[in-house]
Amino acid sequence: MSAPVTLINPFKVPADKLEAAIEYWEAHRDFMAQQPGYLSTQLHQSIDEGATYQLINVAIWQSEADFYQAAQKMRQALGHVQVEGLCGNPALYRVIRT
């Protein structure tokens, strides 16, 4: 059985779109949390408003396959980004050092 994977998704958020971006994230979190292999997620907000990435999502999934299947279903169910200028840069990771 493969080890869990970590999705890290840094978001560039236009200055006036923070609330809308959080609502967008919540809708997608609610969908993904129902999918097989979902383990946990944490949405981080930067303390410094000038940070490159004001929001970063860090989510744990049981496997790569689980995540990709859920992400495909999410795109079909929720469509693409509806918050103008919101730009994510998701990738899957494994913890290699602590």
Tokens 């958020």 appear where?
13
Phi, psi of 87 (to 5 degrees): -130, 110
Q: By CB under 8 A, name the one of 4, 6, 14, 62 that touches its own copies.
A: 6
Q: How far is the CB of 89 from its own copies (least distance, A)?
A: 6
Q: By CB under 8 A, name the one of 46, 62, 63, 69 that touches its own copies.
A: 46
Smallest Cα–Cα separation from 56: which of 32, 25, 93?
25
Q: Does 60 bind its own copies (CB under 8 A)?
A: no
Smallest Cα–Cα separation from 54: which of 6, 11, 97?
11
Q: Does 70 bind its own copies (CB under 8 A)?
A: no
Q: Does 43 bind its own copies (CB under 8 A)?
A: yes
By beta-carbon proximity to its own copies, the closer residue of 76 and 98 is 98
Q: Angle at the Cα of 80 (from 79 to 81), degrees rounded to 5? A: 130
Is residue 23 within 8 Å of residue 79, measured between CB atoms?
no
| Span interacting with its own copies, options 21-29, 68-76, 77-85, rule CB under 8 A | 21-29
Strands 5-12 and 55-61: antiparallel
Which residues are at the interface with its own copies (CB under 8 A)?
5-6, 8, 10, 22, 25-26, 29, 40-48, 51-53, 56, 58, 64, 89, 91-98
